[in-house]
Chain A
Amino acid sequence: MSILVYTESENGKLKKAAYEVASYAKGIADLMGTSVTAVTVNAENVEELSQYGVDKVLKVSSDKLSKFNADAYAEVITQAAKKEDSKVVVISQSANAKYMAPLLAVDLEAGYVSNAVKLPTLDEGFNVERTAFTNKAFSMTSISTDIKVLGLSNNSYGLKENESSLTQEEFFPELTDENFGITVESVDKNKDKVSIADAEVVISAGRGMKGPENWGMIEELAGVLNAATACSKPVSDMGWRPHGEHVGQTGKPVATNLYIAIGISGAIQHLAGISASKNKVVINTDPEAPFFKAADYGIVGDAFEVVPQLIEKLKEFKANNS
C-alpha cells in the first residue's frame, strides 16, 4: 500500500505543481505510515521528485498519451492505483486534473474531495478541509469510501523538501479505443505567457484601464515579474481581454503568492476568486474602493502614473537582486 500521486508534466518536464502534490502526498504518507509512489506520463527527468519525498516513480511513456486525454489518463492512474494498492490518490487542481478527477473517482469507486487546502486528519474517520462557496468559506469534509481521491488546491500546501531514495519503474497500462472517445484536433496555447494556474504572481487589471489599448503597461509589468495577466469580469465581458483571463466567482480562481490588482474596484465576486492569494496589492484612484479592505498593500493613485514608475523601480530592483 502506498499513497499514489499523479505528477503532471509539460513537454517532458515536471510542473511546479507536481512537486507540491508530491510534498502533500508525503505528508499523508507520514500520517498513515506508508510510502509515496508517483505516476508520470511522458516525463523525461523525474529524479527531482526524490527531493519531495517520493519513493518510487511509475513512468508511463506513450505516444498515444502525448496530448492530454482525461479518460485515458484516468485509466492510467486507476491501473497504477490498483497495482500499488493505493488507498489515497493525490492530484493537483490544474484544469486537466480537474477534468480527469471525477472519471478517476468513478473508476476507483472513490470519494473525491476537490480544493483541499490542508493535510487530512485521521482521528475520527478521514476528514479534509477544502474551500467552498468560492473561497468565502472552508468545509471540513469526510470521505467514507475505502479509496480516496484528493485534489490539492494550488499553492495551498507549498513545497516541502524531504529527501528520499527514489526507484524508477516503467509502467505499461492497458488502454483500449474506448479510452479515446475524444480527439484533440488542435491546441492553442500561448507559449510566451505564464498561465494563471502556474503563476507565482498575477497582474490583474480592470475597467480603470479605460480601454484594451492600455494593456501594454500591464503586460510589461507582468513581464518584469514573470507574472500571468488577468482581468475583472466587466473587462472580459466588454471583450477587452479574453474570457480565459477573467478572475472571480464565474471565472478563474487565483491562489498565487502575489496578486496585484490595478483599476479594479473589488466586487464581492472578484474578491472571492482571489481571496486564497497570499499577498494582495491594490492600485486604485478611489480610496473608497472595496478592494482596499481586502488588500494587504494599497496605493491610492492613478494607474497611468503609478504603473510606469513601478515598472522602472522593479526593473532596477531586479537588476540589483538577480
Chain B
Amino acid sequence: MKILVCISHVPDTTSKINFVDNDTKFDTNGVQFVINPNDEFGLTRAMWFKEKQGATVDIVTVGGKDTEPTIRKCLAIGADTAYRVDTEPLDGFQVAKELAKVAKDGEYDLVIAGRESIDYNGGMVPGMLAKLIGANFINTCVSLDIEGETATAVREMDGGKETIKTSLPLVIGGQKGLVEESDLKIPNMRGIMMARKKPLNIIEPLSSKTHTEAKSFRKPEPKGEVTLIDADNLDELIDLLHNEAKAI
C-alpha cells in the first residue's frame, strides 16, 4: 500500500497571533512552526500501517524553503520520501490542486490529511483533493483500518460517531483519535540522522489559480474585566445570567 501524508507547516498552538504590513500578513517573528496537529495524528497512523502492513509512506507539503525543518521532522519520524511543492500556499483550492497532482502522479492508495490546519482553519483541502483525484473521502476520521482494497473507518459527527466502509483509493481528513496522543511519534537520534539522507524532492508548482484571498486580518476586541461573584451568593450569578447576559 502506498500512502501519502499531507503536511501543513503551522504556528505552534501557543503562538501569539499578530499581523504586519498594515494587518495584511501573519507576523512570523518569534513564532515556532510545527507539524499541524491534525496531520501529526495522520502521520503516526501512517507509520502504523508501515510497521504492521508494510506500507510505504511519503509526505508532501506546499510551501517555501522555510517548511524544510518540519519536513525533516516527518522524515525523522519515519516517512520514506518527502515532496515539497515550491510555492507559497495562498488558499485551500490552490493547495488542493497542487497536492492532487502529487497524489495522482504517485498513484497512492491512501492519502491522509488533517481535517483542517490550525492557522487558516479552512477545512477544505482534504475534501477538494479527494474530489480532484476522484477518490472516496472520509472527513473527521478518528479510526481507520485497511484490509486489501477495503477501508473501515469511524468518523466523528455532531453528537456521535458513524462507522463507514469504503474502497481505495481513499482520502481522509484525520484528527485526534486516529491515534492516541500518547502514541504520537517523537523523532529519536537515529531517525534524525537517517532523515538527513532521505530524499526531499522539490516540485515545481502548477501555478494553480486561487479562488479566495485573505485580504486583511484583525484581532478580537479586548475583553472587559471579569465580574467576580462570591461563591456564597449564587443567586447573583443566576440573576446576572438571566437579566444581564440573557443566557438562561
Report if B145 contacts A (CB, 8 A). no
Establish whether residues B136 and A106, one from each chain, have CB atoms under 8 Å apart when the complex forms.
no
- Scoring B132, B238, B240 by chain A CB atoms within 10 A of each residue's CB, the highest score goes to B238
Report if B33 contacts A (CB, 8 A). no
Report if A26 contacts B (CB, 8 A). no
Report if B188 contacts A (CB, 8 A). no
Q: Which of B50-58, B63-71, B174-182, B197-205 contacts A (4 or more CB under 8 A)?
A: B174-182
Report if B104 contacts A (CB, 8 A). no
- Given A136-B219, A195-B158, A297-B240, does the pair A182, B138 have CB atoms closer than 8 Å? yes
Establish whether residues A133 and B211, one from each chain, have CB atoms under 8 Å apart when the complex forms.
no
Report if A43 contacts B (CB, 8 A). no
| Complex Cα spacing A84 to B213, Å | 27
| Complex Cα spacing A195 to B119, Å | 25
Report if A246 contacts B (CB, 8 A). yes
Q: How many residues of B contact A (CB 8 A)?
A: 81
Report if B49 contacts A (CB, 8 A). no
Residues of chain A lying within 8 A (CB to CB) of residue B125: 102
Establish whether residues B228 and A300, one from each chain, have CB atoms under 8 Å apart when the complex forms.
yes
Distance to closest chain A CB from B16 (angstroms): 8
- Scoring B11, B127, B142, B162 by chain A CB atoms within 10 A of each residue's CB, the highest score goes to B127
Establish whether residues A132 and B158, one from each chain, have CB atoms under 8 Å apart when the complex forms.
no
Report if B156 contacts A (CB, 8 A). yes
Residues of chain B lying within 8 A (CB to CB) of residue A98: 123, 139-140
Report if A174 contacts B (CB, 8 A). no
Q: Which residues between 42 and 99 of chain A lie within 8 Å of chain B, taking CB atoms?
A: 67-68, 70-71, 94-96, 98-99
Establish whether residues B17 and A112, one from each chain, have CB atoms under 8 Å apart when the complex forms.
no
| Complex Cα spacing A244 to B176, Å | 9
How would residues 60 to 83 of chain B score, 1 for a CB under 8 Å from any chain A CB and 0 otherwise? 000000000000000000000000
Q: Tell me if B's interface is mostly helix, strand, loop or mixed.
A: mixed
Report if B118 contacts A (CB, 8 A). yes
Establish whether residues A113 and B13, one from each chain, have CB atoms under 8 Å apart when the complex forms.
no
How many contacts A-B (CB < 8 Å)?
258
Report if A173 contacts B (CB, 8 A). no
| Complex Cα spacing A298 to B92, Å | 40
Q: Which residues between 91 and 142 of chain A lie within 8 Å of chain B, taking CB atoms?
A: 94-96, 98-103, 105-107, 110-115, 127, 131-142
Q: Tell me if A's interface is mostly helix, strand, loop or mixed.
A: mixed
Residues of chain B lying within 8 A (CB to CB) of residue A302: 231
Residues of chain A lying within 8 A (CB to CB) of residue B127: 70, 99-103, 106
Distance to closest chain A CB from B8 (angstroms): 13
| Complex Cα spacing A201 to B176, Å | 24
Distance to closest chain A CB from B128 (angstroms): 4
Residues of chain A lying within 8 A (CB to CB) of residue B13: 249-250, 268-269, 272
How would residues 155 to 199 of chain A score, 1 for a CB under 8 Å from any chain B CB and 0 otherwise? 000000000000000000000000001111111111001111110
- Besides the contacts A114-B121, A137-B218, A141-B212, what 18 more A-B pairs have beta carbons closer than 8 Å? A71-B137, A102-B123, A111-B211, A114-B123, A137-B219, A144-B211, A145-B211, A181-B166, A182-B136, A193-B159, A236-B176, A249-B13, A258-B241, A269-B13, A294-B223, A296-B224, A296-B226, A310-B237
